[in-house]
Structure 1
Amino acid sequence: MNVDHEVNLLVKEIRRLGAKGSDGKLSVTFGVLFSDDKCANLFEALVGTLKAAKKRKIVTYQGELLLQGVHDHVEIILLQD
């Protein structure tokens, strides 16, 4: 699995599903990403892809590990546009 490719796909999906906040940055909640049919088919391990993107400082979000249901409200903010 090519992590860079997965991260690039994640950025495209955040752009598709996200909305600009008051700071001008795109963001989407984890719940929206997780429950989206296209994302479900694209990403074998969405949480792992998010962690890789966070490590590369492409996205940011609160916490280390996101779990469906518990963290559906967590905002994932795209740092690079």
Structure 2
Amino acid sequence: MNVDHEVSLLVKEIQRLGNKNADGKTSVKFGVLFNDDQCANIFEALVGTLRAAKRKKMIDFQGELLLQGVHDNVDVILLKE
């Protein structure tokens, strides 16, 4: 799949699963994204898609890489709606 397409799908999933934070930006916990059945069916490599979206400055999260279990409570913040 094309990276831009995957990033646009990721944005839609963050909007679907997330909530507005104090800054008015949509935010979702990594664990919620990772454990969602619909996301699992869409993304073969969710972590790779998250890194690509971060490089494109579409999202932000703390650290370079998110791992299931260890980073389940890390916020993935949508920078561009």
- The verdict on a shared fold, with TM-score over 0.5 as the criterion, is yes
Question: In the alignment, what sits opposite 1:24?
Answer: 24
Question: In the alignment, what sits opposite 1:68?
Answer: 68
Q: CA–CA distance in 1 between the matches of 2:63 and 2:23?
A: 21
> Structure 1 segments of 4 or more deviating over 4 A?
none
Question: In the alignment, what sits opposite 1:57?
Answer: 57
Matches within 5 A, 1:41-56: 41-56=41-56
* CA deviation after TM superposition for structure 1 residue 58, in Å: 0.1
Over the aligned positions, Cα root-mean-square deviation in angstroms equals 0.4
Q: CA–CA distance in 2 between the matches of 1:65 and 1:54?
A: 10
Q: Secondary structure at the match of 1:80?
A: coil
CA shift digits 1:16-64 (9 cap, x unpaired): 0000001100000000000000000000000000000000000000000
Q: Structure 1: 5+ residue runs without aligned partners?
A: none
Amino acid at match of 1:27: S
The percentage of aligned residue pairs carrying the same residue is: 73
Q: Structure 2: 5+ residue runs without aligned partners?
A: none
Question: In the alignment, what sits opposite 1:33?
Answer: 33
Q: Secondary structure at the match of 1:14?
A: helix
